[in-house]
Amino acid sequence: MLQKTPPRRDLRTRTPGGASARRNADEAVARLAWWQKAVFYQIAPLSFQDTDGDGKGDINGIIQRLDHLEWLGIDAVWLCPIYSSPMLDFGYDMVDFCAVDPLFGSLADFDRLLAELHGRGMKLILDFIPNHTSDQHPWFTESRSSRENPKRDWYVWADPGPDGGPPNNWLSRFGGSAWEWDHGSGQYYYHAFLKEQPDLNWRNRDVRRAMADVLRFWLDRGVDGFRVDASAVLAEDELLRDDPPDPKFDAETTPPPQRLTRVFTDDRPESLDYLEELRAVIDEYPDRVLAGEVQGKTNRIGHFYGNDRPRFHLPLNFALLDAKWNAVALQAQIDAYYNAIPDHAWPDWVIGGHDKKRLASTIGKAQARVAAMLALTLKGTPFFFAGDEIGMEQVPIPPDRIRDPFERLVPGYGLNRDPERSPMRWDSGPHGGFTTGEPYLPMGDDVERRNVRTLKDDQRSLLWLYRRLIALRRATPALTAGDHRPLRSRNDILRFERALADQRVLVALNTSPQPRRLDIAGTANLLLSTNLDRDGETIRGATMLRADEGIILALDA
């Protein structure tokens, strides 16, 4: 087994406050739950590693690549759906929540993956998709078979509106009406996403029981928690009231599904009640975690933690992905987020994902290094997406290779999610070592330069930066458990401190492509630069940050 290399320099080597301060810091870290200390790595199994030559990744492929995760220092994996599915939406359309799709392998392969991860000290959380099933799911087959079927009420059915059309104006996120006519039983069913993804009716107690049992099935197998998909849309208004038009809608530029403000289909109070029930199931098991996709609205995110009745441990926070990338905008986003979450809440930061454009494309390769340093030094649990650590960009997809139904149904608005799902590149061989067959999505034309093997040979690469940042974070209690202290960002430099016991760490990130001067009070020891070439420097009073350079400094307490 590979050893995690200790960071070359960390605060352990220089704790002026001495042994008792050091003990306090260590105790603060020890009090945290594993998921508060963890660095999470998201894997979309289709895009990670293929072992059977069908051009699509599989579970054995993940097992084969665990050395990479261990070398990086990853603590926990979030695995996108592996369940049995017709794969119309990348596996987010299940026919069986408790079976592994043969495309990915078997339940035995899954158990082996879990055991391998646990054997290496890593955790695994699964995607849990409560909002909908595939229309091929046996529950839906029963439900649509007749109005009298006992499972009729397991989905959201309604009579036509007065004009014989859909019951109301609700829109599917993937285009068109959210209602689909079922000729056989003479009613419409509701689907927030594809018409092949009918929404479950969470008002029905039996649905909630069945879904709780799905959680228990996987928890009993030993998984460490879940990322709950589309959790803000579990319930819709019972009165079926029309959504109002969005005043910001611009027919030229806004995708048609965003024509309405989703007052009656998103963020309904009942959804939060159902999340409390899911959390109660999780809490039947020791030491598990519930993370959730909450549609990324900073001003609403606090509600998803819950109060006396807890909801998510980690409502996923996309603020950095949605921010304008400059020091002033970022400091505002960060502040708004910390202020929006309850006092007891533990923050988190997401910098990549299977639904989000790659940062290396949106903010550029140079700032992607800054983003890595930011996410791994802010207070809170960081999440990144496989491929971010090698700076993968949006891979262009020719029209005949488009897979994402979102792009097919709402074309021309830049909504295609295939570009960020392009397969992982492991080496400069054919198809980047991803498959011996034909990759299901294009690999991009920079595979030879940008792959794990090549970047590993360059100790100043982004890949090494990720590794060094993760190691430094783990070795530095102030970075893991310390308070966040905002500083006023100026001169294009985003600045903040992390503080714990007698440790103070300053993070200063130059968001501009020009050198910028950073003034500090007193002297400091440079722990890490995004360029990986200055550690150990002593800074007295001021230093120049090079273009796009971020640094982490240990300040005198």
What is the contact surface with ligand GLC in residues (CB under 6 A)? 89-90, 92, 129, 193, 229-230, 293, 354-355
Name the nearest CA neighbour of 483 among 7, 28, 16, 12: 28
Q: Are 303 and 272 in contact (CB under 8 A)?
A: yes
460-491 burial code (b ≥16 CB/10 A, e <16) = ebbbbbbbbbbbbbbbbbbbbbbebeeeebee
Active-site annotation holder among 67, 284, 438, 533: 284
Instruction: Mention every residue, 6+ apart, whose C-beta is less than 8 A from residue 456.
Output: 463, 464
Helix, strand counts (H, E) of the chain: 17, 19
Q: Are 275 and 304 in contact (CB under 8 A)?
A: yes
Output 90 or 384, the one with its CB closest to ligand GLC: 90
**Dist. CA 364–CA 236, nearest whole Å:** 39
Can 284 be counted among the known catalytic residues?
A: yes
Q: What are the angstrom distances between the C-alpha of 260 and each of 154, 271, 397?
A: 27, 20, 29
List the beta bridge partners of residue 500: 503
Active-site annotation holder among 10, 229, 418, 497: 229
Encoded tokens for 401: 């290779």
Which single residue brings its beta carbon nearest to ligand GLC? 92
Output 89 or 502, the one with its CB closest to ligand GLC: 89
Output 293 or 497, the one with its CB closest to ligand GLC: 293
Encoded tokens for 387: 């491929």
Closest approach of Cβ 175 to ligand GLC, in Å?
A: 13
State the DSSP string of 121-183.
T-EEEEEE--SB--TTSHHHHHHHH-TTSTTGGGB-EE---TTSS-SS--B-TTSSBSEEEET
Q: Are 43 and 504 in contact (CB under 8 A)?
A: no
Write out the catalytic residue numbers.
Answer: 229, 284
